[in-house]
Amino acid sequence: MSQEGITALRIAVDEVKSVITALTEEEWSRPSGCIGWSVRDLVAHMSSNYKETVDPSPAPDEPINLPAERMMDLLIEPRKDWSNEEILAEYLAFCDQAVDVLASLQEEPMASTVIPLADLGSYPMNQLADAYAFDHYCHLRIDLLAPEGPIERRLPASDATRLGPAVRWMITGMPQMQSDLGLALAAPITLTLTGPGGGVWTIAPAGNEITVSEGASSACVADVSSNGHSFVNWGTKRSPWSEHCKVTGNQAVAAKFLDALNII
């Protein structure tokens, strides 16, 4: 279960509300930290996800077989002609309802029902809370707010309650989100995240794939260390891992894997 994900998401929604309800017209148009998206695109992405969670659009006649990132673009495109006020209104109309829907998925039989998420892999429905907590944490605290994002606002500091479920989603999704990622890893390595949301994991090759297990292994040939907040940044390829990580041990093995890693 991920009651922690629901708690983190409720906090994130309240913090997003506090920021986007006070945006100026000029701030809405600024480029966000998510390449190719403006601030209004970023909010439209979050609002459209929540609308689809509460009030799904009719299924298409033919299945859509597209990467998850492209499907997100398709939700934003119809909103390109919306006013800033319309995008804001959609977010405010659906955000709390969507969190309630996700909270309902923490109960059986839905909680353990596995669903596919396009090319991101397949997950029990209770883990969708972590996915949304990750999405909101990344977009709010990396893409929207300074210093990485374009908007200067003061919010409470990140802590384990806010960040932990986002990191958990990244760790859980890492083995599924990239096919053939194991080909970029010649030997096991340790990932050490410090501070809020931190922990230690062993990442090991398993044929073309990888496995991720909690704790360190004596078989690891390198240790990659950063803080948990930075992991959300470099693990999603928003900035180079070399700006945030300390690598000890076999530099070449770690670097080849880190160059390939791209968590969505």
Alpha-helix runs per DSSP H in 139-205: 160-173
CATH 3.50.50.60 fits 181-260, yes or no: no
The burial class, CB within 10 Å (0-12 / 13-18 / 19+), for 215 is exposed
**pLDDT the model gives residue 59:** 66
Instruction: Give the residue from 242, 215, 245, 214 showing the smallest Cα distance to 229.
Output: 245
Question: Distances in Å between the alpha carbon of 215 and those of 193, 198, 200, 229?
Answer: 11, 12, 5, 19
Contact 143, 33 (CB under 8 A): yes
Mean pLDDT of all residues belonging to the chain: 94
Whether 66 shows a pLDDT value over 90: the answer reads no
**pLDDT the model gives residue 73:** 79
- Averaged over 44-62, what is the pLDDT? 86
Fold agreement between 3-153 and 181-260: no
What CATH number was assigned to the domain covering residues 3-153?
1.20.120.450
**pLDDT the model gives residue 204:** 97
Could you give the CA distance from residue 239 to residue 233 in angstroms, rounded to a whole number?
6
Any idea where the domains of the chain sit in the sequence?
A: 3-153, 181-260
Beta pairing partners, 212: 203
Indicate whether this model's pTM tops 0.85: yes
Could you give the CA distance from residue 147 to residue 234 in angstroms, rounded to a whole number?
15
State pLDDT tens for residues 238-256: 999 999 999 999 999 999 9
- Residue carrying structure tokens 């949304």: 132
- Averaged over 179-203, what is the pLDDT? 96
State pLDDT tens for residues 110-144: 999 999 888 889 999 999 999 999 999 999 999 99
Residue 235: how many CA atoms within 13 Å on its side-chain side?
26
